[in-house]
A and B are shown apart, each in its own frame.
Chain A
């Protein structure tokens, strides 16, 4: 069964610093991968997605992610974090042989210090 691991439960960075959130997946074929962001008490907003092609994917709000098949990773990055980026971030993968059923990681909560 597919699984998604986000090894960092909580990360704190200073405003203006760079950010990398880790995501590792377990999957036999080419995965379809997503990053979502959730502000407290809100729904999830799609940041970016990878289906195929260029392994460096650009998303909204200045985020990008790189798919590395050899490492089974899809890490999310941002060169310079803003205080408004404080939120919870979820990585997700579409399950094999299913109709777009997603498996989510447990999330990484990002805190930004001023």
Chain B
């Protein structure tokens, strides 16, 4: 079955540590996205990528980094510069980066700070 997988389901970060969240899709989608979800705030866009080896900052990119070396993979690194990383992180993908394309979401990773 085609879909989006995110791992791990839960992730713990210590102070000063960088952690990487995995997102893989086998839908052959061109575009991929990372969102952060906090209670009562909906989803906010962190980074997005419309094509391999290219990505753009979203609304809240500070303290995060991404790479897009393969079409099916879009890992997100939460760096030590992100002072409030505790949140639910959702990865999404779409056929291409045009306005009519529907985004499909993975199951999410919950990041907690120790």
Q: Which residues of A contact B (CB under 8 A)?
A: 9, 32, 34, 36, 41-46, 49, 51, 90, 94, 98-102, 104-107
Contact = CB atoms under 8 A, between A and B. Distances in A.
Nearest to B58: A101
A9 B40 contact: yes
A100 B90 contact: no
Interface residues of B, number: 30
Given A90-B43, A105-B42, A46 B102 contact: yes
A42 B103 contact: no
A104 B99 CA distance: 15
A43 B42 contact: no
Contacts, number: 61
A44 B90 contact: yes
B98 A42 contact: no
Contacts of B64: none
16 contacts: A9-B40, A34-B102, A43-B90, A43-B106, A43-B108, A51-B100, A98-B99, A99-B48, A99-B97, A100-B96, A100-B97, A100-B99, A101-B58, A105-B42, A106-B40, A106-B41
Contacts of A34: 102
Interface string B51-75: 0000000100000000000000000
B40 A101 contact: no
Given A90-B42, A100-B101, A101-B58, 5 more contacts: A34-B102, A41-B88, A41-B108, A99-B50, A106-B42
Residue with the greatest number of chain A CB neighbours at <10 A, chosen from B41, B102, B104: B102
